[in-house]
Amino acid sequence: MSSPLALGLIGAGRIGQVHASTIVTRVPGARLLAVADVNLDAARACAARFAIPKAVVDPLEVINDPAITAVMICSLTSTHATLIEAAARAGKHIFCEKPVALNIEDTDRAVAAADTAGVQLQIGFNRRFDANYARVRKAVTSGEIGKPYMLHIISRDPAPPPIEYVRGSGGLFADMTIHDFDMARFLTGSEAVEIYTQTDVNVDPAIGEAGDIDTALCLIRFANGIIATIDNCRKAVYGYDQRVEMFGSGGAISIGNNYPNSATLSTAESIHTDLPLNFFMHRYVEAYAAEIEEFAAAISAGKPVPVTGHDGRAAFALAMAAKQSMLEKRPVSLV
């Protein structure tokens, strides 16, 4: 039996703790050896909860720890690119939360650093690991729906983030649609060649005053011929709405939302169910665990990770093209 995979955690916030929990409870072949957080108390609390022997402030103490084989970067977005480069220099494999950066230059530099160093870089597009989306992809690759013609993604949040967050988010396309751009690439197995978008400020005028939008419809053409739409809104009153439909020569597959229970109530007013799961960390709880399980399994086995820095780069490029389409009111080519 081989020795355990030695991991280091950078960032002991919400998502960092989620990943630490996955390592402890679901990845018997891995051990967390160190955790870093700018807040030392947070690092220590995380270390205590998950029995991590070392808690520090400086992420480089984790990255450069010779006992550590791979690092999980769960710190602020603004630190991602720099930490990826540092980890690559140290020869460590990397799991990094999305996005790699908020501009294409930093993204490219970080991805290139991992490539040059020959380390693996997995980006946290967790939805690829969700059972519903994975089933759609399987329907495509297995031929169950024949040759795919059209794809529709609906991705609506239950409520907009605080306006301060919106201001620093890089805009709806880079902050929210980026998940859907990656999903469209994942499900089609192809690269976008053109994007056109219609957008609006419907939910809150303050979002418009911040220079952003809250409603968008993207129409994307993929290299393999698939025509895709992405429907985004920052607010759906009935909750987190995450659905997909793929249609092809042999049929169609569609996925619905996830619910807290399977109950249907019939009363004098209506036939109804409770609202779908409302919080993304509940909705995707299994996907967050599965992406880490697959990361650890790939690193341990010396196999490629399932979502790479190049995937992160491509989704970001689509966000930039969508923004250009919105500003120039025309279809934008990506080739």
Stretch of 11-19, 99-107, 149-157, 167-175 contacting its own copies, by CB under 8 A? 149-157
Of the pair 81, 296, the CB lying nearest its own copies is at 296
Whose structure tokens read 């919105």? 326
Residues 274-293: x where in contact with its own copies by CB under 8 A, - otherwise, as a string: xxx-----------------
Contact predicate 70/95, CB 8 Å:
yes
- 144 belongs to the binding site for its own copies (CB under 8 A): yes
CB count in 10 Å sphere of residue 182: 23
Tell me phi and psi for residue 216, to 5 degrees: -155, 145
Count of beta carbons in the 10 Å neighbourhood of residue 214: 23
Question: Which region, judged by CB under 8 A, interacts with its own copies, from 52-60, 67-75, 80-88, 131-139?
Answer: 131-139
121-123 and 93-96 beta bridge pairing: parallel
Give the nearer residue to its own copies in terms of CB position, either 126 or 132: 132
Torsions phi, psi for 242 (to 5 deg):
-135, 95
Q: What is the DSSP string of 72-103?
A: EE-S-HHHHHHHHHHHHHTT-EEEEPSPS-SS
* Residue 44 sits in the site that holds its own copies (CB under 8 A): no
Cα–Cα distance for residue pair 116/171, rounded to 1 Å? 31
In the bound state with its own copies, the residue whose beta carbon lies nearer, of 66 and 271, is: 271
CA-CA distance, 183 to 3, in Å (whole number)? 35
Pairing verdict, β 70-73 and 192-200:
unpaired
Told to check if 146 binds its own copies by CB under 8 A, we report yes
**Could you say whether residue 327 binds its own copies (CB under 8 A)?**
no
Options 60-68, 88-96, 164-172, 245-253: segment touching its own copies (CB under 8 A): 245-253
Residue 28 contacts its own copies per CB under 8 A: yes
Cβ closest to its own copies, residue 165 vs residue 238: 238
d(CA 309, CA 97): 11
Considering beta carbons, is residue 103 or 258 the nearer one to its own copies? 258
Binding-site member from 57, 198, 205, 281 for its own copies (CB under 8 A): 198
Q: Is 266 in the site for its own copies (CB under 8 A)?
A: yes
Binds its own copies by CB under 8 A, chosen from 57, 147, 281, 282:
147
Residue 24 touches its own copies, criterion: CB under 8 A: yes
Identify the bridge partners of residue 308 per DSSP, sorted by sequence position. 122
335 binds its own copies (CB under 8 A): no
Among 2, 270, 302, 335, binds its own copies (CB under 8 A): 270
Position 252 contacts its own copies (CB under 8 A): yes
Q: How many residues does the chain have?
A: 335
Give the whole-angstrom CA distance, residue 232 versus residue 249.
27
Among 141, 261, 328, 335, indicate the residue that binds its own copies (CB under 8 A).
261
Contact 77, 99 (CB under 8 A): yes
Interface with its own copies, residue 262, by CB under 8 A: yes
Residue 252 Ramachandran class (φ > 0 left, ψ -120 to 50 alpha, else beta):
beta
Binding site for its own copies (CB under 8 A): 21, 24-25, 28, 49, 51, 131-132, 134-136, 139, 144-147, 149-150, 152, 156, 196, 198, 200, 202-203, 215, 217, 219, 221, 225, 227, 229, 231, 233, 235-238, 241, 247, 249-258, 260-276, 329-331
